Structure 1
């Protein structure tokens, strides 16, 4: 596939699965991610749409991903709520399998100032259960490296540092677990984009998520509005042999279509055909 065909759009909670794959087909987008949290996450609610979703994807060469909400704490330890988070992840797997999704993006959750060890342990255990639950399902799980929060924040995501991300993949290694690489998050740390990608490599990378920022705080800017060197980033990733997809995540749907054109037209060495 050309690079144009490999640059996808994350629709977030804006569209249902059925509407998202139709939109993708209408806009020559071949990779689309959807967050289900704007509606009840019930596999039984898709019975009437499964055939049309699968047909739209097949007829228009659309690869579908589901993106869990990072606000749902995969590191949850509280009674009742902890069980609900397991149910949440299983529901995403069930729906993804039902509609033919290729991937489910997951997160490690977050801890607070005085409970990191317990919550990281809970996070790894819960992700391990989700990986095992999804072993016979169609979609793979892709763990995203998260963004850092200010030191003064009470809440902190995991995994964020290169050491944490590497530790998670070492602990959870499985055939159906891959990496959702987020370069804007990586550049918040000294290892930067190059350090993260060289340490983890293209073999486990199932998606590269794209937006611009200034490398200091979490921002979802359009390409060109921040300081991320997209040319160097593409050269690094493409020269590694990575032939997977990229996923735009900023602004409106129209902003992301414009961003795709900006990237293809502006940066050297990027095929636009």
Structure 2
């Protein structure tokens, strides 16, 4: 695939799965991620015709489908009743992903508060172990995203965010069906920066690279060119490592992301001339 064909679009909750793959086919997008949280997260809500349509469109248009869980759902949940609901939420994503033949499900570590870091991280890792085991024979792999830092004044903080935390999660949760959804804009919030995260975890673990712009201090999800992320250096770092997977855009409108794809191709000095 060309680099352009490897740059996908995360439609978030803007479209259903069926709408998303049809939109991708119409716009020469070969990788698309969808968040299901704007509708019922229930395999029984999909009839046979819809499932067949999704599978056929992906096969005919060479589309790789991903499902992206909502980071607001706390994978580090410890409260009675709610913790069971989070397990059910993740299992439903796996079941739907398996049914429609999605290739990946992006998951998160959850979040903790000021005084419960250890308990929340333990719950997060235990829940991720359970969903890794649950998804062992399913069609999609699970991809864990390195999360963004929240300001010091924030009571809520995501995990894993630091390079030490991310490395610890992958070391402890190691599985053939668990990969890394690398988020460079998140990584640049830390001293190790994008280079340090990627060189430590490496291209073999990386299965998706998520792209948007920012200024390196807070989460912004800007279109490329609106911040100061060096996309040429980022592409050179990743491409020269031998990584041949896909990139995933996540900002603005669907048209913003199609325009952003063209902008990124212009920024990468290693891209072949059209």
TM-score, normalised to structure 1, is: 0.99
Structure 1 residue 24: Cα displacement: 0.1
CA distance in 2 between counterparts of 1:109 and 1:271 reads 40
Q: Is this contact kept in 2: 1:264–1:270, CA < 8 A?
A: yes
Partner residue of 2:194?
193
Root mean square deviation of aligned Cα: 0.7
SS at match of 1:217: coil
Task: Map 1:93-104; keep pairs closer than 5 Å.
Answer: 93-104=94-105
Task: Map 1:134-145; keep pairs closer than 5 Å.
Answer: 134-145=135-146
SS at match of 2:12: coil
SS at match of 1:258: helix
Partner residue of 2:18?
18
CA distance in 2 between counterparts of 1:46 and 1:271 reads 42
Partner residue of 1:252?
253
Task: Map 1:1-273; keep pairs closer than 5 Å.
Answer: 1-48=1-48, 49-271=50-272, 273=274
Q: Is this contact kept in 2: 1:148–1:217, CA < 8 A?
A: yes
SS at match of 1:190: coil
CA distance in 1 between counterparts of 2:246 and 2:157 reads 28
CA distance in 2 between counterparts of 1:76 and 1:202 reads 31
Structure 1 residue 44: Cα displacement: 0.9
Structure 1 residue 86: Cα displacement: 0.1
Structure 1 residue 45: Cα displacement: 1.0
Unaligned runs of 5+ in 2: none
Structure 1 residue 269: Cα displacement: 1.2
Structure 1 residue 270: Cα displacement: 1.6
Q: Deviations over 1:53-95 (max 9, x none)?
A: 0000000000000000000000000000000000000000000
Q: Is this contact kept in 1: 2:125–2:169, CA < 8 A?
A: yes
CA distance in 1 between counterparts of 2:64 and 2:270 reads 25
Q: Is this contact kept in 1: 2:232–2:268, CA < 8 A?
A: yes
Report runs of 4+ in structure 1 exceeding 3 Å deviation.
none
Unaligned runs of 5+ in 1: none
Structure 1 residue 267: Cα displacement: 2.7
CA distance in 2 between counterparts of 1:46 and 1:36 reads 12
Q: Is this contact kept in 2: 1:13–1:38, CA < 8 A?
A: yes
CA distance in 1 between counterparts of 2:138 and 2:11 reads 23
CA distance in 1 between counterparts of 2:258 and 2:273 reads 14
